[in-house]
Amino acid sequence: MSDSSSCQGCPSAAGCGSAGNPEGCPSTSTPAASSGCGGGCGGPTPEQQAEEARLQATLSHIRNTIVVMSGKGGVGKSSTAANIAAGLALAGKRVGLLDVDVHGPSIPRLLKLDAAQANVDGDTIQPVQWREGVSLSVMSLGFFLPDGRQAVIWRGPVKMGFIKQLLSDVAWGELDFLVVDCPPGTGDEPLSVLQLLGDAARALIVTTPQAVAVDDVRRSLGFCEDLNVPVLGVIENMSGIVCSKCGNVESLFGQGGGERLAKEMNVPFLGAVPLDPEIVRAGDEGNIYIASHPDRPAATVLRTIVDALVEADAPQG
């Protein structure tokens, strides 16, 4: 009888093609693999070992990794990731922002970098800098696509390989924070990212207040639990609405779902970001809201979240 589950739980299972196909699993001889691919695995090729070493070398220069995810589409993951990354950079941190949404990369547009192209220099990919005087390095599949082409169709293992390259071959340098923007759901991209980052990964979960989103997001939290990924917290986005006349936050139906979910799942609640039409406008124009509208109520909440992340990173004692 063949052992079809030999790669189950292996940190590189996605790289094996599928959990049941341990052929060429890159993990067998890495220390992290001791709990994974027990049998049937062919072992990594020297090339795979070199790749793994490169990845670990790059990751050793990144202090905090924040993976922004949600079971639900369109809840504001990319906007949140971009604002938090920019907020951290504006607070003086060295920040990387990695967009692993290979089907619809939106980070380049949000940062007005849609005309930028990836600069590949031998084995190294130079990240694109957001703006002068701020340490925010950005990488996205969008920088590799010809103009106007915003979608590619890739199978899981190819995505995994590409994401691995973005993590390990980009010249991130020394980073205080790497923020990763994932597509919705619990598919190949978040799985690859979390597996590649290993112990370094921390998840930041975005939801909207409505029950239907909360249900999907509960699945994301379960996914993190299954993968043993610590959850930094839940953000409830589009919670209430900023009045276009007076600027006050007015209650909208269904507020509080994210906070209740955080309580239920015993993870921190990081804040409720109201719905503000200016976020849409800022996003469409490539202006980072937290920088272009620093006094709006939603920007204040986003800054509180940034401050909490900075605080959590501060040396204890």
Please, which residues have CB within 8 angstroms of residue 160's CB and are 6 or more apart in sequence? 14, 15, 188, 192, 196
Of 78 and 135, the one with the shorter C-beta distance to ligand ATP is 78
> Per 3-state DSSP, what percentage of the chain is helix, strand, and coil (rounded to 5)?
40, 20, 40
Q: Is 220 annotated as a binding residue?
A: no
Q: Is 279 in the site for ligand ATP (CB under 6 A)?
A: yes
Footprint on this chain of Mg ion (rule: CB under 5 A): 77-78, 106
**Which of the listed partners (Mg ion, Zn ion, ligand ATP, none) does 76 bind, with a CB threshold of 5 to 8 Å by partner kind?**
ligand ATP
Out of 142, 184, 233, 258, the only residue in the binding site for ligand ATP (CB under 6 A) is 184
Of 33 and 69, the one with the shorter C-beta distance to Mg ion is 69
Q: Is 17 annotated as a binding residue?
A: no
Q: Is 244 in the site for Zn ion (CB under 5 A)?
A: no
Q: Is 76 in the site for ligand ATP (CB under 6 A)?
A: yes
Please, which residues have CB within 8 angstroms of residue 179's CB and are 6 or more apart in sequence? 66, 68, 81, 84, 85, 88, 95, 96, 97, 98
Q: Which residue has the tokens 């970001």?
A: 273
Residue 314 backbone phi and psi in degrees, to 5: -65, 145
Out of 283, 288, 299, 309, the only residue in the binding site for ligand ATP (CB under 6 A) is 283
- By the 10 Å C-beta count (0-12 exposed, 13-18 middle, 19+ buried), 8 is classed as middle
The minimum distance between CB 69 and ligand ATP, in angstroms, equals 9
Interface segment toward ligand ATP; rule CB under 6 A; list 11-19, 84-92, 127-135, 271-279? 271-279
d(CA 314, CA 317): 9
Out of 120, 151, 243, 280, the only residue in the binding site for Zn ion (CB under 5 A) is 243
The minimum distance between CB 52 and ligand ATP, in angstroms, equals 29
Contact between 75 and 41 (Cβ < 8 Å): no
The minimum distance between CB 206 and Mg ion, in angstroms, equals 10
d(CA 237, CA 220): 16
- By the 10 Å C-beta count (0-12 exposed, 13-18 middle, 19+ buried), 49 is classed as middle
Contact between 238 and 77 (Cβ < 8 Å): no
Q: Is 71 annotated as a binding residue?
A: yes
Q: Which positions make up the binding site for ATP? A: 71-78
Q: Which residues of the shown chain bind ligand ATP in the complex (CB under 6 A)?
A: 73-79, 101, 104, 106, 183-184, 237-238, 273, 275-276, 279-280, 283, 298
Q: Which residues of the shown chain bind Zn ion in the complex (CB under 5 A)?
A: 243, 245-246
